[in-house]
Structure 1
Amino acid sequence: MQLNFKEIFTVFMVLFAVIDIVGNIPIVIDLRKKVGHIQSEKASLIAGVIMILFLFLGKSILNLIGIDVSSFAVAGAFILFFIALEMILGITLYKQEENNAMTASVFPLAFPLIAGPGSLTTLLSLRAEYALENIIMAIVMNVLVIYIVLKTSSKIERFLGSNGINIIRKVFGVVLLAIAVKLFAHNIKILFI
């Protein structure tokens, strides 16, 4: 096992941008108002388990249905591209209906808000390019950040304000857009070789 801190940081930043936990603070606060209490530990842990399981089983599932990782990575690049557009332009291309049942810590918070289609697709796309142990480290680091943000969401919102959160979303949107282009270019070459 050889940890590469540059890879860990890159994967961490990609996942952080895709999960967009800071940008989702308003949704977290809204959920907290609707259901009263959100179990930050439970939501973070379940999201982490879903992401790690998908990292290991996702490729097998793809093989089962006859799709190679490069094709999935190209599809993932498109999803990242559209998520980035949402973040930069402030538009909503895909809206998940919110469920305000007492299971809000699991659904919709852990899945699909944190470990959703974007982050799961991203994980398999990243697996085509980065070492497994580095991706796992990045997931663990993101789960810790998610936990801290969930625990302190109301304080962060007061500190940053809605303008601060919007600026952060747009900056990470541009970063995500660049990563989507790189992922697409790298994997499209593999498909045509």
Structure 2
Amino acid sequence: MTFNFNVREIATATMVLFAVIDILGSIPIIIGLRNKTGHIQSEKASIVAACLMVAFLFLGEEILKLIGIDVNSFAVAGAFIIFFLAIEMILGITLYKDDEPESASVVPIAFPLIAGAGTLTSLLSLRSEYAVENIIVAIILNIIFVYLVLKSSVRIEKILGKNGVSVIRKVFGVILLAIAVKLFAANINGLMGGL
């Protein structure tokens, strides 16, 4: 069994997941949950989110085959979702918002906050472009960062301030927009070729 680790692929996949997960943009929600419940299970939430992401990375394609959808179609659909997430981040608008979670248990933090629909869609889209081992490294790097943010969310908000968090969201929104266009362009030919 050979591994094809590629620094460029790891970096790109890490940036995509970082932008889609948008843990810095979720700091206000995390702080709200911490104030409501007094405690956030950072370790548990991070581990569950990582397991969900890795499981979907491996089983997602099989689930798609089961319902008769090919990876190219899913990747193009993923490109649209990433595009709209990017638009939300850049323009500061909300196109779709889940109800705010009631408690800081694993469910609202791990899913859908960290491993939400956008993240899972992005994983399958990335899988159509990059080697699985590079995506797993990207997942691990993001989960470590998520854990650190969950542990020190109050401190981070004080350091960055509202403007700092807003600037980071917009920068990653632009990166995400470019990635959405690239994913769409890379997979639309395969999709059209199958028609």
Please give the range of the TM-score, normalised by the shorter of the 2 chains: over 0.9
Per-residue CA deviation, residues 102-126 of structure 1 (Å, 9 max, x unaligned), is xx23121110010000000000000
- Aligned partner of 1:145 in structure 2 is 145
Q: Kindly tell me the number of residue pairs found equivalent between the two proteins.
A: 191
- Quote the sequence identity (%): 67
The residue type equivalent to 1:107 in the other structure is V
- Aligned partner of 1:112 in structure 2 is 112
The residue type equivalent to 2:83 in the other structure is F
- Aligned partner of 1:127 in structure 2 is 127
Q: Whole-Å Cα distance in 2 between the matches of residues 105 and 149 of structure 1?
A: 16
The residue type equivalent to 1:151 in the other structure is K
1:130: how far off?
0.2
- Aligned partner of 1:58 in structure 2 is 60
- Aligned partner of 1:67 in structure 2 is 69
- Aligned partner of 1:172 in structure 2 is 172
CA-atom RMSD in angstroms? 0.7
Paired residues of 1:40 and 1:105 also in contact (CA < 8 A)? no
The residue type equivalent to 2:135 in the other structure is I
Structure 1 unmatched runs, 5+ = none
Q: Whole-Å Cα distance in 2 between the matches of residues 186 and 99 of structure 1?
A: 36
Per-residue CA deviation, residues 99-152 of structure 1 (Å, 9 max, x unaligned), is 323xx2312111001000000000000000000000001001100000011111
Structure 2 unmatched runs, 5+ = none
- Aligned partner of 1:12 in structure 2 is 14
- Aligned partner of 2:83 in structure 1 is 81
- Aligned partner of 1:31 in structure 2 is 33
Q: Whole-Å Cα distance in 1 between the matches of residues 62 and 191 of structure 2?
A: 19
Q: Whole-Å Cα distance in 1 between the matches of residues 126 and 144 of structure 2?
A: 20
The residue type equivalent to 1:98 in the other structure is E
Q: Whole-Å Cα distance in 2 between the matches of residues 99 and 159 of structure 1?
A: 25
Per-residue CA deviation, residues 59-112 of structure 1 (Å, 9 max, x unaligned), is 0000000000000000000000000011011111111112323xx231211100
1:173: how far off?
0.3
Q: Whole-Å Cα distance in 1 between the matches of residues 179 and 28 of structure 2?
A: 25
- Aligned partner of 2:154 in structure 1 is 154
Paired residues of 1:88 and 1:173 also in contact (CA < 8 A)? yes
The residue type equivalent to 1:111 in the other structure is F
User: Matched residue of 2:24: which SS?
Assistant: coil
The residue type equivalent to 1:181 in the other structure is V
The residue type equivalent to 1:163 in the other structure is N
Q: Whole-Å Cα distance in 2 between the matches of residues 168 and 133 of structure 1?
A: 28
TM (norm. structure 2) is 0.96
